[in-house]
Structure formats: structure tokens, C-alpha cells
A = this chain, B = another copy of it.
Amino acid sequence: MTRILVVDDDSVLQRTLRINLRARGHEVLLAGTGEQALATFLSEQPELVILDLGLPDLDGVEVLRRLRKRSGVPVIVLSARQEADDKVEALDEGADDYVSKPFSIDELLARVRAAVRRAGSDPDTPETIEADGLVLDFAANRATRDGHPVHLTPTEWRLLAELARHRGRVVSHEDLLRAVWGPHYGRERQYLRVFANQLRRKLEVDPAHPRHLVNEPGLGYRLELG
């Protein structure tokens, strides 16, 4: 989904972040020093940087400053308690957010989500879709058919959103399962049958002859819109 550069000399933290961010579907690049961070940034062009201020070689703020010379990439700064001055300096240099150590993984992940969201939502995932009498509002989590509100469950929303991202194209069973249920899934096609059926009953005019949520036997499902 998003390519994220993690700059930290603590290998434990590196590992923790890599695992958690990967589980969220991000691609993770690692750097242990400031020099390495700058080099990796230039060659890989990540879309988000998580930067620890306490680095062995360069001052973290200096790394940020050099990044800012080349790019407006979102940067989340990590800092230890006693580095309060650095924190403010980092904000001045254009850091987007900061998190004080010690922090919970959940908190950092939430800020990553916020940063990614701010950086510009996926152009692939539209906020609202309208076709025939069908209106899907992914931003507000509302759906209506012929003006009548339809209630969708969380899993139904996730499945529908994944199909909407690739609307008009077939999405494989495996991809759908991974996107909706998580990276450990891929073979449970029964799930898809059940939830596709539920969505059709709620969204299609004639659920027995679906015009929007179409199955491609042996391949996957496709969302067809106007």
C-alpha cells in the first residue's frame, strides 16, 4: 500500500515496526543511521518517514533538515523524554507529527494512518460511488438503494471497498481474502460466497441475477458500475 522508511538505531524497535507496519499492508524500508536514511530515501522515494531523533551519526534534526531540502514527504518524529528541545526544533523544521518515547505501537500506528490519510487518500478509492439507484458513500459509511438506506456490516464494507478500489476489474479470491480478512487468509473462498451473497441481497435489485457484484468463475469477483 504505502512505502514507509523507518529510521532508528534500535534493532528491537526496527523489528517491531517492520512487523506491525507490514501487517497493515505497508512496505517497510529500514535505516539505522542518518546517512543510510538519506541514501535510502533518495533511492527508494518512500511516501512516509518515521524518524528517531537519537541517531548514532547525524543529529536527527539535521537528517530532517536535509530531507526537507529535497522533499515534502510526511515525517513522524520519535523522541525520548529528555529531548524536548529537539522535539520543538523538529516541528519547526517541518515534522508533521511527533511521538514521545515510550509510546504504544497502537498510538504510532494511529498516527501513521492519520499521516497517510492527510498525504492524500488513494485516488483509487473513491469517497462515493453512484450507479443506477445505488449510492455508496465510503466516507460516511452509508449506502442507499433507490433512496432507501441499506445497512452494511463492517466486513461487508471492507469487501465492498476492496472491490470498489478495482471496480470494473476482476479481483482474485486470494486478494480479496487477504485485503478483507488479513494476510493469513487466502483459501477460505466460502467466506466470499457468503458475503457476496449478503451484499447482493442488500444492494442488487434482483439478487439472483446480479448486475453489479459479478462472479467470474474460477477467477474472482468484479464490481460493475454504470
Residues of A within 8 A of B (CB): 81-82, 84-85, 87-88, 91-92, 97-98, 100, 104, 106-107, 110, 139-141, 153-154, 157, 168-170, 174, 178, 183-184, 186-187, 216-219, 222
If the complex has contacts A141-B169, A169-B141, A219-B141, are A183 and B107 also in contact, measured as CB distance less than 8 A? yes
Q: List 13 A-B contacts (CB under 8 A).
A: A84-B85, A84-B87, A91-B100, A92-B100, A107-B183, A107-B184, A110-B178, A110-B186, A140-B168, A140-B169, A140-B170, A141-B216, A154-B218
Contact B139 A169 (CB under 8 A): yes
Min CB distance A48 to B, Å, is 17
Give the residue name and chain of the B residue nearest to A168 (CB).
B140
If the complex has contacts A141-B219, A170-B141, A219-B154, are A98 and B88 also in contact, measured as CB distance less than 8 A? yes
Contact A186 B106 (CB under 8 A): yes
Of all A-B residue pairs in the complex, the 7 with the closest CB atoms, nearest first, are A154-B218, A140-B169, A141-B170, A84-B88, A84-B87, A106-B186, A107-B183
CA–CA, A129 and B182, complex, Å: 34
Min CB distance A78 to B, Å, is 12
